[in-house]
Amino acid sequence: MSGYAEVFRRGRGRHRRRRRIPLKTVAVLSALVTCSAFAVTRMEDDPLDCAPGRGADGRPARLPVECRGANAALRAGAPAGKAPGRAGGEGGDGVPHDGDGGRPGRAPAQPEAEGGYDRERCGNTSGRLLLSLDDWAYSDPERSVRIGAQLQAQGVRAAFFLIGKFAAQYPNITATLRQQGHWVGNHSFTHKQLTALDDQELHDEIRSGVGGNLLRPPYGDAGERERDVAADLGYRICNWTIDTHDWEKGDGPGGLRSAEAVRASVRDASQEEKHNGVILGHLFSNFPAALNDIIADLHAQGYQLCRNTGPVTENVPHPLPC
Ligand SMILES: [Zn+2]
């Protein structure tokens, strides 16, 4: 208990400090705005221009110099990571049932100065909602692609943030999900809390994870150092606005929150959380069983989900083509 409280307290304290935008950041942003109108326009016109590639060894390649400025804009003034939910635990089946929970340390707000990128919304400016499914379906890995097929059949594109060490054992799952039209992102290699790692471990956890350009840090916990290392490796941080708390204990199957409770978390979320929103759920929980009802509820409330327009590559454009 005290461990969780300590992590939470530290997270919030760190969060508050990071909320202050340093003068240097303001200066950098001013310079970008006043001197780089051309560059900004170019980014908007061609969001893939600075997409990171892969080196000969299959690792993320260093970006061209002109793209470093774009990523610097992403770094500058980034909103802080939210308080971590809790340190990962072990379920009765010996696999981590940790979730990425934890309410945002602040109410999801307007996009902040991060080169126009709002990490809590994963850069979603479409008005639609993005479903995201994290971690791994431990007892039934193929569950992921069945969920993917179900969503594809409904014309919905989701984002899957897979734990790298499992995804590496089942490369067909990542490939199939992308073929189904879903984005697959990096969720670290072993689901460690990135802010607790030393520099080398942090680098390795990201670099060894799923390739691409979206990183969802475990527990959503990332500060300036984590954001900068991720950016150097070609990733931008993608968190969420609606946490379904599906990873918490409850009276549903598996001793977790029931599908009905998970459904209600989304249904009852605020308009601000839903517009351009990102929904956090997990592959091992009762979230997948709630998906049909979640989608139906959102439609009934007048919301749409990101549209599935067919197969995708590992790099996800910004703004999100929802
Ligand atoms: Zn996770």
**Which tens digit of pLDDT belongs to each residue from 21-49?**
444 444 443 433 333 333 333 332 233 33
**Residue 90 identity:** E
Q: Which of 2-11, 143-152, 165-174, 182-191 has the lowest mean pLDDT?
A: 2-11
**Residue 309 identity:** T
Under the banding of pLDDT at 50, 70 and 90, the label for residue 311 is very high
How remote is the CA of residue 319 from the centroid of ligand 1, in Å?
23
Pair 24, 84: CB distance under 8 Å: no
pLDDT in tens, 227-236: 999 999 999 9
Token pair 């500058």 in the structure block, residue: 76
How remote is the CA of residue 230 from the centroid of ligand 1, in Å?
17
Nearest to 229 by CA among 195, 211, 202: 202
Q: Tell me what pLDDT residue 99 has.
A: 61
Pair 18, 223: CB distance under 8 Å: yes
CA distance 312 to 172: 15
Report, in angstroms and rounded to the nearest whole number, the Rg of the chain calculated over CA atoms: 18
Q: Tell me what pLDDT residue 98 has.
A: 55
Pair 100, 280: CB distance under 8 Å: yes
Nearest to 156 by CA among 299, 309, 275: 309
**Residue 114: what are its φ and ψ, rounded to 5°?**
-140, 50
How remote is the CA of residue 291 from the centroid of ligand 1, in Å?
18
Pair 246, 256: CB distance under 8 Å: yes
Pair 232, 225: CB distance under 8 Å: no
Instruction: Tell me: pLDDT of 103 over 70.
Output: no
Instruction: Tell me: pLDDT of 187 over 80.
Output: yes
How remote is the CA of residue 15 from the centroid of ligand 1, in Å?
20
**Residue 111 C-beta-side C-alpha neighbours within 13 Å:** 19
CA distance 241 to 6: 24
Q: What's the whole-number mean pLDDT along residues 191-205?
A: 98
DSSP string, 88-157: --B-TTSSB--------SS---S--SSTT--GGGTT--SSSBEEEEEE--TT-TTHHHHHHHHHHHTTB-
Pair 209, 197: CB distance under 8 Å: no
Beta bridge partners of 131: 158, 279
What domains, with CATH codes, occur in the chain? 2-300 (3.20.20.370)
Q: What's the whole-number mean pLDDT along residues 119-131?
A: 97
Percent of the chain with pLDDT over 90: 64
How remote is the CA of residue 124 from the centroid of ligand 1, in Å?
20
Mean pLDDT, rounded, of the chain = 76
Pair 201, 195: CB distance under 8 Å: no
Higher pLDDT, 243 or 66: 243
CA distance 103 to 85: 7
How remote is the CA of residue 43 from the centroid of ligand 1, in Å?
30
**Residue 158 identity:** A
Instruction: Tell me: pLDDT of 289 over 50.
Output: yes
Higher pLDDT, 285 or 46: 285
User: Six-digit token pair at 124?
Assistant: 């979603």
End-to-end CA distance of the chain: 40
How remote is the CA of residue 269 from the centroid of ligand 1, in Å?
21
User: Six-digit token pair at 319?
Assistant: 């703004």
Nearest to 117 by CA among 225, 32, 195, 11: 32
Token pair 């340093």 in the structure block, residue: 22
DSSP H or E segment with residue 159:
strand 158-162
Q: pTM surpassing 0.85? A: no
How remote is the CA of residue 218 from the centroid of ligand 1, in Å?
5
Q: Tell me which DSSP letter residue 218 carries.
A: G
Instruction: Tell me: pLDDT of 252 over 60.
Output: yes
Secondary structure (3-state) at 242: strand
**41-46, Cβ contacts within 8 angstroms, sequence gap of 24 or more:** 43/70, 43/115
